[in-house]
Amino acid sequence: MKPRFQTQFLLFIALSAFAALNLTPVIWGFLTSIKQPVDAFAVPPKIVFTPTFEFHYQIWVEREFWRFLLNSVVISVGTVLISLPIATMSAFGLSRLQSSGSRGLLAGLMVMRMFPQILLAIPFFMLGRMLDLIDTYWAMIGALVALNQPFTIWLMRSFFIEIPEELYESASLDGCSIWQEFRLVALPIVKPGLWVAALFSLLFAYNEFLFALVLTGPHTKTLPVAIAEYGGEDVNYWSLAAAAAIGIMLPIVIFMMVLQRHLVRGLAFGAVKG
């Protein structure tokens, strides 16, 4: 059923061209980050030049972008550590509940995922001000955990419902309590799923921008907010901002390599863009 060699070859070329076009902005960003300003602003654009990594050093070390990286790591890891256990429990509960109520809850979660987030950003900001939580890690972690729940519950549930009923039946014949069913029967089976959910949640928290913009301040600023401030500046900062952008992207590339098998399942529930 597959077409002949020549068609295959042309198809491959066309698709490669499309992929190349898709990657152009990223490659261009990388080139900008290793160019001296003279080369970066050359018209026509320069492809051949002497690369320099001084901007990478400058932005991450001298201009202390590592601080924002630290903030991002604290917030993302904190989010995953809180979000994943409770979402996994919910997912287990929902996968075992027979009533129509669980369906309603799942639909409700889907609605929450579709929510215009700006509507939540305003009260978060107001409540954060009232409780004096703005510019603390807790405000960000709390917000991200809640925003992350619908996705993580749906994703984990898709792993739980693959467990055959018979396993639970034999477990309960052996005298397992419900907690033991969860802990000893279900959890070991969905362990690979836990990793997938953890990584997707990590990525979500790492990428989140709107709430970080509203809830963080000088002490807890995350990488997306920091880079947005830099990139908006005038063109003199291009090379620096590009170096920062490439640095921010690196962990994500690694993430993509690790998760390639699971991308569809995660994405169908809209993991990446919150």
Partner 1 sequence: MTGDIIAPDASLAGAYGIAPMTMVKEEITSPLRAARLLARAPPSLADSGERSKDWKYALFLGPSVVLICCVMIYPLGYALYSSLFNYDLGSGIHEFIGLDNYATLFTEARFWSALGRTCLIVTCAVTSEFFIGLFVAYGLYLLVRGGRALSLLMFLPHIVTPVVAALFLRWIFMGRWGLLSSLLISFNIFPPDWLGDPSWARFTVVVADIWQFTPFMILVLLAALNTVDECLLEAAKLDGAGHWTLLFRIMVPSVWPMIAFVLVIRVMDAFRSFDNIYVLTAGGPGTATETLTMYTYTTAFKLLKIGKASALGVLTLLFVGIVAAVVITVLSRMSRGRGKSVI
In the region spanning residues 192 to 231, those forming contacts with partner 1, defined by CB under 8 A, are 192-193, 203, 206-207, 209-210, 213-214, 223-225, 227-228, 231
Asked if 25 and 246 touch (Cβ cutoff 8 Å), the reply is no
User: How many residues sit in the footprint of partner 1 (CB under 8 A)?
Assistant: 115
Q: Which is nearer to partner 1, 9 or 57 (CB)?
A: 9
Helices (H), 34-136: 37-40, 54-57, 65-96, 100-114, 117-130
- The set of long-range contacts for 157-165, using a CB threshold of 8 Å and a minimum separation of 24, is 157/91, 157/94, 157/95, 157/106, 158/193, 158/265, 159/91, 159/189, 159/190, 159/192, 159/193, 160/91, 160/92, 160/94, 160/95, 160/96, 160/186, 160/190, 161/95, 163/95, 163/189, 163/190
Give the one residue of 60, 65, 68, 92 binding partner 1; rule: CB under 8 A. 92
Q: Is 234 in the site for partner 1 (CB under 8 A)?
A: no
x/- map, 96-135, partner 1, by CB under 8 A:
xxxx--xx-xxx--x-x-xxxxxxxxxxxxxx--------
Instruction: List the interface residues with partner 1, window 132-151 (CB under 8 A).
Output: 142-143, 145-147, 149
Which residues lie below 8 Å from residue 208, measured CB to CB, with a gap of 6+? 144, 147, 222, 224, 274
184 binds partner 1 (CB under 8 A): no
Judged by CB under 8 A, the residue of 89, 171, 187, 199 near partner 1 is 89
Please enumerate in sequence order all residues whose Cβ is within 8 A of that of 204, keeping only pairs 6 or more positions apart, or say none. Answer: 79, 144, 147, 148, 151, 271, 272, 274
Residue 198: CB minimum distance to partner 1, A: 15
Is 180 a binding residue for partner 1 by CB under 8 A? The answer is no
What spatial distance separates the first Cα and last Cα of the chain, rounded to whole Å?
40
Task: Provide the minimum distance between the beta carbon of 64 and partner 1 in the complex, in angstroms, as a whole number.
Answer: 19
The string of DSSP letters for 114-125 reads HS-HHHHHHHHH
Residue selected from 70, 77, 93, 136 as contacting partner 1 according to rule CB under 8 A = 93
140: left (phi over 0), alpha (psi -120 to 50) or beta: alpha
The minimum distance between CB 255 and partner 1, in angstroms, equals 7
Which residue from 61, 161, 254, 258 is in contact with partner 1, where contact means CB under 8 A?
161
User: Shortest gap between Cβ of 175 and partner 1 (angstroms)?
Assistant: 14
Q: Per rule CB under 8 A, is residue 32 in the interface with partner 1?
A: yes
Q: Smallest distance, Å, CB 137 to partner 1?
A: 15
Q: Which of residues 50-69 bind partner 1 (CB under 8 A)?
A: none
Min. distance of Cβ 216 from partner 1 in angstroms? Answer: 13
Q: Does 175 bind partner 1 (CB under 8 A)?
A: no
> Does residue number 8 form part of the binding site for partner 1 (CB under 8 A)?
yes
Q: Give the dihedral sign, CA 25/31/34/36.
A: negative
